[in-house]
Structures are given as C-alpha cells and as structure tokens.
Structure 1
Amino acid sequence: MSTTDEIMEISQLLARYAVNMTKGDVDGVVAVFTPDGTYSAFGDKYPLDEFPALVAAAPQGLFMTGTPVVEFTGADTATGSQTLCFVDHATHDMRIGYYSDTYLRTEDGWRLHTRAMTFLRRNGDHDSGIPHAFDRPGA
C-alpha cells in the first residue's frame, strides 16, 4: 500500500469519527479506535468503555474537522493532528481546537489508538478543558 493510500485510509477513519459524533452514533465512534484506545480531555484519560457516558454528557452538534497531518513512525504506527470546529446544534455556539492522535494498523486496517483534545481559548490559551467537567461513573 502506498503512503498516499495509507493517508487516505486514516483520513476516512477520522471522517467516520466526525460524522458518527455528529450523528450521535457512539458505536460507530468506538469502532474507529483500537480495543484499548483512549480519549483524553478535561484533564483526564477515558477508556472506550467510558466513552458512551462521556458522549451522552456532551452537547450535541456538528463536528467539522480539517485534513489531518499524519506522520508515520513505523510500519504499523503513526501520529497525527487534526483541527476541529464543533458547533452546538441548539445554540450554534462554537468550540475550536485540535486533536493529537496516535494510530495503529490492525487486522481491520488503521485505527485510532489515542486521541487527545486541545481547546483554543479566546484569550489565546490552549488547554485540555476544565478538569472534572465530566462526572465519571464511580468517581
């Protein structure tokens, strides 16, 4: 497979993430991760079994993502960044930022292994969100 084909496969993977988040299809979002994948935001790291509750607690809306920047770090590993603009469906308020990712090639193709959100603030700060903005089950 050429590098271009691999970048296209990863780009489609990330498009499925954004479209499934927009549609509220949590199973579709979880499917783009490796089974041991994690999502980081709000000062914490969330395993996939907590992802449905995390998504349920978040506002719903449109996830618009930019073209990812992908760097291959090995035959079956890569890192990347992707910009994000989230528009709340009820208020049309926006949140902007970027994801920092790691990817693994699996038997099912490329998958997200880790995804970390960084928010861009009006004051110019870049941060991962307000710690403990999400009440974790059993926390």
Structure 2
Amino acid sequence: MAANDDLIEIQQLLARYAVTITKGDIEGLIGVFTPDGSYSAFGDTYTLDVFPELVDAAPKGLFLTGTPLIELDGDSGTGTQPLCFVEQSTHDMRIGYYTDTYRRTDKGWRLATRAMTFIRRSGIHDSGIPHAFERPSA
C-alpha cells in the first residue's frame, strides 16, 4: 500500500473516532483502537475495558477535529490532531489536541494510543484535572 493510501486510511480512522464518539457509538469508538489500545487524559491512562464508563461520564456534544499531522514509519506512526469540543446543552467549548500512535493491524490501521491535551485560556497546555474520572473498583 502506498504512503498516500495509508494517510487516507488513517484520516478516515480518525474521522470514525470523532463521528462515533459524537453519536455515542461506543462499540464503533472502541473499534478504532488496537485491542491493547489506551486513552490518556486527566492525569491518567485508561485501557479499553474502562473506556465505555469514561465516555459515559464525559459531557456530550460535538467533536470537531482538524486534519492530523501524521508521520509514518513502516507499520507504525505518530500524529497530532487538533480538536474543538462543543458541549451540547451550553455550547461551551473545549479546545486542544490529540497526540497519537498508530499501528497497522490485520484489520487495517488502528489507534494504539491517544492522549488529550487541553489548551486553556491562560495559554497553558495540560492533560486535564487529575482524577476527574473515578475508575470502577476492581
């Protein structure tokens, strides 16, 4: 597969992330990750088994993502994608960017890791308020 085909496939994967999370399609959202994938925010890293609860606890709204900057190296890659989240009931916005790693699998390209960085009005870039989400007890 040519590099341009890989870039298009990854861009579509990231579009699927934004659309599925906006629509509340948790199965579709989990499907964009590798089975061992993870999401980082709020000072912690979450595995896919707790991702449904993390998404359920988060505000609902529209995830607007920009064109990602992607670097590929064989069957893996890294990237950064801008994000503007608009909360559905107040239309308050959160802005920031995702920092990603990608891996080619037998099902195509998937997110291996996704980390959220928020951009604050002060200009500070951070991963959010620690412990904003309580993990279920084991």
Q: Tell me the TM-score range normalised by the shorter chain.
A: over 0.9
Q: Deviations over 1:87-110 (max 9, x none)?
A: 000100000000000000000000
CA distance in 2 between partners of 1:24 and 1:123 (Å): 31
Partner in structure 2 of residue 117 of structure 1: 116
SS in 2 for 1:49: coil
Q: Deviations over 1:18-40 (max 9, x none)?
A: 00010000111000000000000
Which amino acid is the alignment partner of residue 40 of structure 1?
S
When the two chains are superposed, the root-mean-square deviation of aligned CA atoms in Å is 0.8
Q: Deviations over 1:75-134 (max 9, x none)?
A: 110000000000000100000000000000000000000000000000000000000001
The alpha carbon displacement at 1:138 in A equals: 1.0
Which amino acid is the alignment partner of residue 72 of structure 1?
L
Identity %: 68
Number of matched pairs? 138
Superposition pairs for residues 96-135 of structure 1, below 5 Å?
96-135=95-134
Which amino acid is the alignment partner of residue 76 of structure 1?
D
Partner in structure 2 of residue 50 of structure 1: 50
The alpha carbon displacement at 1:71 in A equals: 0.2
Partner in structure 2 of residue 61 of structure 1: 61
CA distance in 1 between partners of 2:75 and 2:6 (Å): 10
Partner in structure 2 of residue 137 of structure 1: 136
Partner in structure 1 of residue 30 of structure 2: 30
Partner in structure 2 of residue 92 of structure 1: 91
| Structure 1 spans left out of the alignment, 5+ residues | none
CA distance in 2 between partners of 1:59 and 1:86 (Å): 10
TM-score (norm 1): 0.98
Which amino acid is the alignment partner of residue 102 of structure 2?
Y
**Structure 1: 4+ residue segments shifted above 3 A:** none
The alpha carbon displacement at 1:48 in A equals: 0.2
